[in-house]
Amino acid sequence: MPTPPVPSYRGRFAPSPTGDLHFGSLLAAFGSWLLARHANGTWLVRIEDLDPPREVAGAAERQLRALRAFGLESDEPVLRQSQRGEIYRLVLEDLLARDLAFACHCSRSDLAAVGGIHRRCVAAPERPGRMPAIRLRVADHSVVAFQDRIRGAQTQDVAHDVGDVVLRRADGYWAYQLAVVVDDAAQGISDVVRGADLLDSTPRQILLQRALGLPTPHYAHLPLVLGSDGRKLSKSDAALPVDPQRPLPALRAAWQALGQAPAALSGASTVPQLLNRAQAEFDPGRIASTPTVSLAAMHNGDFIFAD
């Protein structure tokens, strides 16, 4: 009998263009790239430009340029979520037609009065002049369990902890949860590797995959990096973009944040050399399974941020 084809590894890095590439995003980019290369897989970049009010003009292009400087380039054309509204609309219509999604006029303050979690509408069904949000109907006791490749067994009762998931916001913009599920499936992503800040979004993404009859990829959530002051480096720390003019120190720091031995890269003096060494020496088993790692301990005074 012919052996069935082994499904090929397809990973991705999916930044939102809300600022320049910072160290936490470089870690997600480099970590997902290393895991894809380790599996002889394909690595894609997708721009998640769904939220114009939070986006910074030119940030997507600067992020792509910075990735190029770090030697991390998409193996296929970059997908932009801003071009995919029609697909999201069709998916939403299907969910509405099957009564798996519903229109909701509850405002944040309506929900705050009932504990902040949507289980049933508390606002009037129509509010003149206001668009409803569209939510996924989450059944009571929707407990989702999955095995994260870094963090191990995870479980969440989505009904209790999250409630009915917003798929299209009341301001008309698509919710990240809908777009990420649709696009991971459309791009045939087998392995989602990203920062641990998205670990608790995963169960709701799995529920949505089930509602849409889509496969669930493997998940691996990388530790978040804490700054020297113990605070998370987040996209809003716009003061800390990595410096694409000096890619080597930032790549070395990201390598260490991924638990890898610094000595493995010693001697590499160009980006291609460093990436070749990294690819050859990478050991996924060394990635910390803790929620965070500290940047202070690893960059040894190297200047990795832009001025």
Minimum CB distance to ligand GLU, residue 2 (Å)? 35
Residue 44 sits at φ, ψ, to 5 deg, of -120, 155
* CA pair distance 119, 190, nearest whole angstrom: 32
217 binds ligand GLU (CB under 6 A): no
Which residue from 106, 178, 180, 220 is in contact with ligand GLU, where contact means CB under 6 A?
Answer: 180
Helix, strand and coil content of the chain, in percent to the nearest 5, comes to 35, 20, 45
14 binds ligand GLU (CB under 6 A): yes
Contact (CB, 8 A) for 137 and 125: no
Minimum CB distance to ligand GLU, residue 138 (Å)? 20
- Work out the burial of residue 22: count CB atoms within 10 Å of its CB; fewer than 13 is exposed, 13-18 middle, 19 or more buried: buried
Minimum CB distance to ligand GLU, residue 174 (Å)? 12
Count the neighbouring beta carbons within 10 Å of the beta carbon of residue 93.
12
Which residue from 10, 11, 15, 20 is in contact with ligand GLU, where contact means CB under 6 A?
Answer: 15
**Residue 16 vs 42, nearer CB to ligand GLU:** 16
**Residue 23 vs 106, nearer CB to ligand GLU:** 23
Window of 13-21, 95-103, 139-147, 280-288 that interacts with ligand GLU by CB under 6 A: 13-21
Minimum CB distance to ligand GLU, residue 292 (Å)? 16
Minimum CB distance to ligand GLU, residue 194 (Å)? 4
Q: Which of residues 240-269 bind ligand GLU (CB under 6 A)?
A: none
**Residue 111 vs 202, nearer CB to ligand GLU:** 202
**Residue 135 vs 204, nearer CB to ligand GLU:** 204
Nearest to 181 by CA among 137, 212, 143: 212
**Residue 235 vs 252, nearer CB to ligand GLU:** 235
Minimum CB distance to ligand GLU, residue 181 (Å)? 9
**Residue 220 vs 253, nearer CB to ligand GLU:** 220
SS (H, E, C) 122-168: CCCCCCCCCCCEEEECCCCCCEEEEEECCCEEEEEEHHHHCECCEEE
Contact (CB, 8 A) for 44 and 33: no
* CA pair distance 32, 79, nearest whole angstrom: 17
21 binds ligand GLU (CB under 6 A): no
Which residue from 194, 204, 221, 299 is in contact with ligand GLU, where contact means CB under 6 A?
Answer: 194
Count the neighbouring beta carbons within 10 Å of the beta carbon of residue 4.
6
Q: Which of residues 45-84 bind ligand GLU (CB under 6 A)?
A: 48
Whose structure tokens read 């569209």? Answer: 134
Residues that bind ligand GLU (CB under 6 A): 14-16, 48, 180, 194, 198
